[in-house]
Structure 1
Amino acid sequence: MRLALVGDIGGTNARFALWRDSRLESVRVLAAADFATPEMAVEYYLASLGLAPGSVEAACLACAGPVKGEQFTFTNNHWRLTRSDFCGALQLDELLLINDFAAMALGMTRVSETGRRMICAGEAEPDAPALVIGPGTGLGVAALLPLGGGNWRALPGEGGHVDLPVADAHEAALWQMLFAQLGHVRAEDVLSGGGLLLLYRAVCALAGLMPRLVSPAEVTAAALAGDHVAVATLEQFCVWLGRVAGNNVLTLGARGGVYIVGGVVPRFADFFAASGFARGFASKGSMSGYLGDVPVWLVTADYPGLEGAGVALEQALAR
């Protein structure tokens, strides 16, 4: 593979890079709203590097949502992609589309010690699956399976849509507040950027207080400044993320470790490290010991989704 293109496309931003000799080059972040089609965005990206269509021979795009068939509709933006049209416009020999969290999971194989922070100490079992979970626009969940010989398989799913777990009376009272508004309470209804604001409003309602913060960023900033209601909100967010992550470890047997990814948690990394996440993660009754030595890392690397797209493309072409 001479030169390839990798992309990580979300609802707001599209990240592109060149992939050469198993490394990222020339990372650019573009606003999806600025382009009518993904082809136009890629053409603009290549032109910014002095490259014309045909300069890259293969591409891998990591896209939010289930990927199959000739056409793909992006979940959180206006783009649509037809494989044959995309390859024709950009003169590609190969196009691989993968789920964005599959790319994120594969990206964990490239994260160095400097790109992650230990949250729960433990010893990863090298042949066991690892869990990759991350609050962002939604809640992404995937498993990473070692296949041997330096190869990996990512298993994406819709684990963010599982029911929100309730483990004590306080959480049950908050759940009732959320249920009255939503009717069905999924994990990502709370464990996401927008979910943090929803949780804050539920905490205020339970305490009989009028909410005064109007964005997730304000809730986070207020918590870090010591506002007691915002602190309680962010603490509950961390505990619930621990509960959901622990449930997934039990389901998958993910003793290969847990990677917390996404754009939300790194914004309050110190708070998260000192929070009740570890308690929520490991408090599983008779199975608490099973989780007690599973390591958990907070990933702070810049572009793991792009790295994972490169890994996926190399493995696909090798096959």
Structure 2
Amino acid sequence: MQQAAAPGAQPESWNDGPWLVADIGGTNARMAWVGAEGAAVSCVRTLPVAAYATPADAIQAYLATLAAEQGAAWRAPRRAAIAVATAVAGDEVAFTNSHWRFSRTGLQAQLGLESLQVLNDFEALALSLPRLGAGQLRAHGALPQAAGTLAVIGPGTGLGVAGVTQTRHGWLALPGEGGHATLAPADDFESELLRHVRGEFPHVSAERLLSGIGMPTLYRGVAGVLGVAPAELTTEAIVQAGLAGTDAACSRTVDQFCALLGSFAGSVALTLGARGGVYIGGGIVPRLGERFFTSQFRARFEAKGRFEPYLAAIPTALITDTLAALTGAALAIEQRDA
């Protein structure tokens, strides 16, 4: 832990630690500690959102535990960056999938921080991309390069999309709501699939099918095209049966998920000009294991007609590190006013 400056030493810079970083979803809040600029995140803890009335309560419980562990070396954090699984606009932050809400200025005052940055969770994940190493990724062939523009797509509960681009001042995150872009079919089967899904939803976004909440919808659409009666299955049950090969509609759903994700990822790469690489995050794809890497994902990623050579040169990789967003939050602090 960094010690206080000695008399006559240079004043601390804006980026001197310690810092608090957090990644808060609807179910869990992951928190971590950064002792000083450039240090790795450490002391990671996962706290259940349901166990605390407010984010401040959870953060203060985490800090109290650290203070007890560190004893005389303890210093309260000066700055914090929090990634949240919701849109960020204005002072008030309300979570879509939990009871938590907070005021950004109020939370900063409660925690006694000099600065508090609040980022969308995929903005933080995008900022982590330049620092991800081989041990945190599994690539289709060559690893992405931390240069130019990078994109990340994350099928989890929903579907997050973001980018990050290199500038002379550092890495600039490009947050957005790309998961709600209209999903396009690439063949006759998918055209018929989307026709079935439009019977439930007038607008079929990528998130409607390529997410945890969307997998059952995708399964019902696939069953409709195959002419079989769909069962009432959860996403977990669909993935399990699909990987085991015990249900033809579930198996086709898993394959269709990978193919549609590849097409969508290719469209994101073209839209952002993400020639440095496209990363897949979120919790669903890691559960598919080898099936993802033997699927049509990569072929469909490249299948963009005249721009196939452009996409063939763009590497794609699966993020295997579930704590990557914490690293991105730390980079947000480092780059503040840099």
Q: Partner residue of 1:64?
A: 85
Aligned residue among 32, 37, 43 for 1:26: 43
Counterpart of 2:241, as a letter, is: A
Q: Partner residue of 1:16?
A: 31
Deviations 1:249-300 (A, max 9, x none): 1111111111111111001121000000012111111111111111000110
Which is bigger in relative contact order (C-alpha 8 A, separation at least 6)? 1
Q: How far apart, CA to CA, are the structure 1 residues paired with 2:61 and 2:203?
A: 42
Aligned residue among 215, 223, 237 for 1:196: 215
Aligned residue among 112, 126, 132 for 1:91: 112
Counterpart of 1:158, as a letter, is: E
Q: How far apart, CA to CA, are the structure 2 residues paired with 1:233 and 1:287?
A: 27
Alpha-carbon shift at residue 233 of structure 1 (Å): 0.4
SS class of match (2:161) = strand
Alpha-carbon shift at residue 208 of structure 1 (Å): 2.5
Q: How does 1:252-271 map to 2 (within 5 A)?
A: 252-271=272-291
Instruction: Please identify, of 48-57 and 230-239, the stretch whose mean Cα deviation from structure 2 is larger.
Output: 48-57
Structure 1 spans left out of the alignment, 5+ residues = none
Kindly report the root-mean-square deviation, in angstroms, between the aligned alpha carbons of the 2 structures: 1.9
Q: How does 1:216-235 map to 2 (within 5 A)?
A: 216-227=235-246, 228-235=248-255
Q: TM-score, normalised by structure 1?
A: 0.94
SS class of match (1:313) = helix
Q: Partner residue of 2:306?
A: 286
Q: How far apart, CA to CA, are the structure 2 residues paired with 1:290 and 1:62?
A: 33
Bigger Rg, structure 1 or 2: 2
Structure 2 spans left out of the alignment, 5+ residues = 1-15
Q: Partner residue of 1:311?
A: 331
Aligned length: 316
Alpha-carbon shift at residue 68 of structure 1 (Å): 3.0
SS class of match (2:97) = coil
SS class of match (2:152) = strand
Alpha-carbon shift at residue 138 of structure 1 (Å): 0.8
Instruction: Please identify, of 125-134 and 306-315, the stretch whose mean Cα deviation from structure 2 is larger.
Output: 125-134
SS class of match (1:140) = strand
SS class of match (1:250) = helix
Q: How far apart, CA to CA, are the structure 2 residues paired with 1:194 and 1:188?
A: 8
Q: Partner residue of 1:105?
A: 126
Q: Partner residue of 2:167?
A: 147
Cα distance, 1:107–1:281 mapped onto 2, change above 3 Å: same
Alpha-carbon shift at residue 90 of structure 1 (Å): 1.3
Q: How far apart, CA to CA, are the structure 2 residues paired with 1:126 and 1:265?
A: 22
Counterpart of 2:46, as a letter, is: V
Q: How far apart, CA to CA, are the structure 2 residues paired with 1:42 and 1:123?
A: 36
Counterpart of 2:226, as a letter, is: A
Q: How far apart, CA to CA, are the structure 1 residues paired with 2:142 and 2:307?
A: 16
Cα distance, 1:126–1:111 mapped onto 2, change above 3 Å: closer
Counterpart of 1:179, as a letter, is: R
Q: Partner residue of 2:18?
A: 3
Alpha-carbon shift at residue 123 of structure 1 (Å): 7.5
Q: Partner residue of 1:272?
A: 292
Counterpart of 2:139, as a letter, is: M
Q: Partner residue of 2:234?
A: 215
Q: How far apart, CA to CA, are the structure 1 residues paired with 2:61 and 2:102?
A: 16
Q: Partner residue of 1:43?
A: 60
Q: Partner residue of 2:8?
A: none
2:271 counterpart of 1:251: yes
Aligned residue among 289, 296, 299 for 2:319: 299
Q: How far apart, CA to CA, are the structure 2 residues paired with 1:287 and 1:63?
A: 35
SS class of match (1:204) = helix
Counterpart of 2:316, as a letter, is: V
